[in-house]
Chain A
């Protein structure tokens, strides 16, 4: 059986890549994609724990289904916000969205 640590390390690496993309990318769509990477890393963690620590009841799989549905809602609303802000400011540059910056 594959050790649990391999899955956790893979999820940690995916999470760190997502954080890097979230902070450094300039295109607003790429920020949304990085958030999807983060959610997938968390889901992979949940599924690994579910399979190794509590394999008989599949509670973690139900959790993962909830996370997937909420991620779908998040991406739909996020894209709508991006469309609205693009129509207002006519750019996709994250550095230009500084209305709330002081």
Chain B
């Protein structure tokens, strides 16, 4: 990046505040739809950080894949499983919150000590800059060729697996009883519901 020192620092500060604020919103807001939209904010701010880190191609990939695919997928998931149910409070739930907060703060303190305690071997080589896209292409087709092909197989497996897991079983040769109102719906094979409350009573 050919930006002045101060401009870089100010944009890093703004992006860091955006990342932390929106991530806290994702975790803490009670409404799940707001969380999903704030998750898009996290992804976009991280793409901005990638631009600061001389990685334009990965920033574009981040916006395309995360904001364009993953975030939309999560929004569709929220629409499909939209159930506004009040969660029954867990016994001694505040202990869980306190313990998790303590563990997370401790983990952050540990990571911060490691970050400041290590002497990083900062390289003084010239960053690849806009040539990075060409370099990524060369990497993908020479020394990372096997992982690249495996990634395509993995994506195919994930696609087929997601379809198999999420589809509903329809009965093909049965017409609905009320032919007018159910004209656009196929009869679905009934599935036995596993009782959600039955086995939780004994503990």
Contact A68 B162 (CB under 8 A): no
Contact B39 A33 (CB under 8 A): yes
Measured CB to CB, the closest approach of chain A to B175, in angstroms, equals: 23
Contact B200 A80 (CB under 8 A): no
Cβ of B14 under 8 Å from chain A = no
Main secondary structure of the interface of B (DSSP, over half): helix
Contact A7 B35 (CB under 8 A): no
Total contacting residues, chain A, CB less than 8 A? 80
Choose among B39, B87, B97, B123 the residue that contacts A93 (Cβ–Cβ < 8 A): B87
Chain A 1-25, CB-CB to B under 8 Å as 1, else 0, gives 1101111111011111111110111
Contact A24 B96 (CB under 8 A): yes
Residue of B nearest to A76 (CB): B162
Q: Which of A20-66 contact B (CB under 8 A)?
A: 20-21, 23-30, 32-34, 36-37, 40, 43-44, 47-48, 50-59, 61-62, 64-66
Contact A79 B74 (CB under 8 A): yes
- Once A and B bind, how many residue pairs between them come within 8 Å at the CB atom? 256
Residue of B nearest to A47 (CB): B53
Choose among A16, A33, A53, A69 the residue that contacts B107 (Cβ–Cβ < 8 A): A16
Given contacts A2-B8, A29-B74, A77-B158, contact A7 B128 (CB under 8 A): no
Interchain CA distance A13-B97 in the complex, whole Å: 18
Measured CB to CB, the closest approach of chain A to B168, in angstroms, equals: 8
A-chain residues with CB within 8 Å of residue B177 when the two chains form the complex: none
Given contacts A73-B155, A79-B77, contact A55 B191 (CB under 8 A): no
Chain B 92-114, CB-CB to A under 8 Å as 1, else 0, gives 00001100110111011001100
Q: Top 8 A-B pairs ranked by shortest CB distance? A: A21-B27, A73-B158, A80-B165, A12-B111, A55-B127, A80-B162, A80-B166, A58-B135
Besides A27-B87, A37-B39, A56-B126, 12 other A-B contacts (C-beta < 8 A): A2-B52, A17-B23, A30-B27, A34-B27, A51-B127, A55-B126, A58-B139, A65-B58, A69-B155, A92-B83, A95-B90, A96-B197
